[in-house]
Structure 1
Amino acid sequence: MNRPTVPRAPLTVARRFTAAGAQAWPAETLHYDGAWAVRLSSDCAARRQNCVTPLDPSDDADIAARLDRVIERFANAGKRPRFLIAPLASQRIVDALSERGWTTEARTTIQSRDLDGWSDNDTPELRRVKADEFVAAHEAIGARSVQRGDDLRAILARIEPPSFLFLLEREGQPVASVICVRQGDLVGSFELNVSEDARGEGIGKELMRGVLAWAKKRRASGVWEQVETDNAASLGLSRSLGFEPVYDYYYMSAPDGAA
């Protein structure tokens, strides 16, 4: 079995996107153990809202005791302990998790698209809606967050940067949805969902073309997104629109009965 290693990227780039991801999809509670950000959410099952994210590769002292505290905190919350391993993590943390039998899961790539060269004069019209209508459409589409049982209204209410909820509709009915979050000169695209009975028709590409056009009109320098590396369709969509990889990250989860 290959030994898990810390992904590589310039630390300034990793810090920017780590902070942007946390702000765009914030956890219910946030606790710091040194430079380990401990995120927990009773209203959401998503990994990124229930994980420990190391924020400084030099902060790897006293790992054993700190891991014990993390495990206890997650157990008290009824959550499985997880670490998000990105370029800001120390290899010593990864090695310590491996020695305890923690396993890797959900490798994800951050992709970005510079808007300087983007030109599309025939983009579909996206409709911006308020939270209640967006949640209702999300449910009608059968979005992943709905299937997880997340309280999307609570999550949306926690987002502090300017956020924009968009629907793509056909014959007055929502067929796709996406959340965009503006952070400085970047726009993050999250929770892109396409109705199951409309998949394979290019709806996702239409939606993202609309996002890129909207972001450029608002003078953003680029759009970024997170895509799981085993999602071939989403990766293909990103490549077709000119997105390029920034860096990968993955999660390490504790075995059952971790102690």
Structure 2
Amino acid sequence: MATTGAELLMQAISPHGNLPLVRRLEAVGFRAWPAASVVYDGSWQVRLTGGHPSKRLNCLVPLDPSDHRDVDLRIEKARKRFEHYGRPLLVRETPLSPKPLLDRLAGQGWRPFETVNVMVADLAGLELPDTLGHLPSHDIGRYIDASLAVHGEDASLKPALAEILSAIKPVSGLFIAENPGEGPVAVALCVQDADLAGILSFAVAADRRRQGAGTEMLTAALRWARISGARTAWLQVHDDNVAALSLYGRFGFRQAYQYRYWRQETGV
């Protein structure tokens, strides 16, 4: 029997149901934002993407609290793989990470430097309009141009983003809000994976924030996800993004867990 959105929300605030929820959200997150290269060392997932610097696409992710054998050897093996891609090794800590590994990293001069909240909301309980304010686009090139403009990112990332978006296997909707003569105002990627829908790359142009564009865009994406059969929405947001956390809270999103990135401090 499928888990309802309300039941997942209860798991998010229940320590007894946390790890199964983390495992499920990690799995759908990997499918929603796929790395170009994924290899496993035991239960440790090594994710690398040469053309895009996203930390989610370039990190080591341990996925079993009991898998902490040969830590030093496996860290060095992962480091060499990252060096081959010209990237520094980053470790992504979730509630699934083995504590002995984290203790070892701390003892070797590694430090956490960024914390992200993973949040969920029950779509069935949301009050959403009957009609879609924005229809999803299937034009990847147009969406990428809009996304790069809204995020203020370099156009050189366009080929890598095209590769990432083309590699997404679940059903996805590319949402773009535009004003004639003004260019893109807001963008969002919604990826529906069975009964779960992820909101990714959501952003509002800097000069259009706090004017309702974000609420309008998020409403459209969530409405589309519910029409498409999703019961629960999930997203990721930096823990210091006060404006985004306030917006998501109004839509009923609650924290399921946090993850952190670790890097080794230079000179240690």
With normalisation by structure 2, the TM-score equals 0.87
**Counterpart for residue 51 of structure 1:** 59
The answer to whether residue 117 in structure 2 is matched with residue 114 in structure 1 is no
**Counterpart for residue 150 of structure 2:** 141
Counterpart Cα distance in 2 of 1:128 and 1:141: 17
Q: CA deviation at 1:53?
A: 0.6
Q: Secondary structure at the match of 1:151?
A: helix
**Counterpart for residue 9 of structure 2:** none
Counterpart Cα distance in 2 of 1:43 and 1:202: 34
Counterpart Cα distance in 2 of 1:252 and 1:167: 33
Call closer, same or farther: CA 1:142–1:56 in 2, change over 3 Å: closer
The answer to whether the Cα contact below 8 Å between 1:123 and 1:209 also exists between their aligned partners in 2 is no
Q: CA deviation at 1:240?
A: 1.3
**Counterpart for residue 135 of structure 2:** 127
**Stretches of structure 1 lacking an aligned partner (at least 5 in a row):** 1-6
**Counterpart for residue 96 of structure 1:** 104
Pick the aligned partner of 1:10 from 4, 9, 18.
Answer: 18
Counterpart Cα distance in 1 of 2:154 and 2:115: 19
The answer to whether the Cα contact below 8 Å between 1:8 and 1:247 also exists between their aligned partners in 2 is no
Q: Secondary structure at the match of 2:109?
A: coil
The answer to whether the Cα contact below 8 Å between 1:127 and 1:168 also exists between their aligned partners in 2 is no
Counterpart Cα distance in 1 of 2:107 and 2:218: 42
Q: CA deviation at 1:80?
A: 1.2
1:25-54 CA distances to partner (integer Å, 9 max, x unpaired)?
111101111111001111110111000011
The answer to whether residue 212 in structure 2 is matched with residue 195 in structure 1 is no
Percent same amino acid at aligned positions?
Answer: 34
Pick the aligned partner of 1:29 from 17, 29, 37.
Answer: 37
**C-alpha RMSD of the superposition:** 2.2
Partner amino acid for 1:233?
A
Give the stretch that moved more between structures: 71-80 or 92-101.
71-80
**Counterpart for residue 217 of structure 1:** 227
**Stretches of structure 2 lacking an aligned partner (at least 5 in a row):** 1-14
Q: CA deviation at 1:149?
A: 7.4
The answer to whether residue 162 in structure 2 is matched with residue 166 in structure 1 is no
**Counterpart for residue 3 of structure 1:** none
Partner amino acid for 2:140?
A
Counterpart Cα distance in 2 of 1:96 and 1:25: 29
Q: CA deviation at 1:8?
A: 9.4
Give the stretch that moved more between structures: 47-56 or 7-16.
7-16
1:185-213 CA distances to partner (integer Å, 9 max, x unpaired)?
01000000111221221211211111121
The answer to whether residue 185 in structure 2 is matched with residue 175 in structure 1 is yes
**Counterpart for residue 4 of structure 1:** none
1:198-233 CA distances to partner (integer Å, 9 max, x unpaired)?
122121121111112112222310111001101111
The answer to whether the Cα contact below 8 Å between 1:45 and 1:148 also exists between their aligned partners in 2 is no
Call closer, same or farther: CA 1:150–1:107 in 2, change over 3 Å: farther
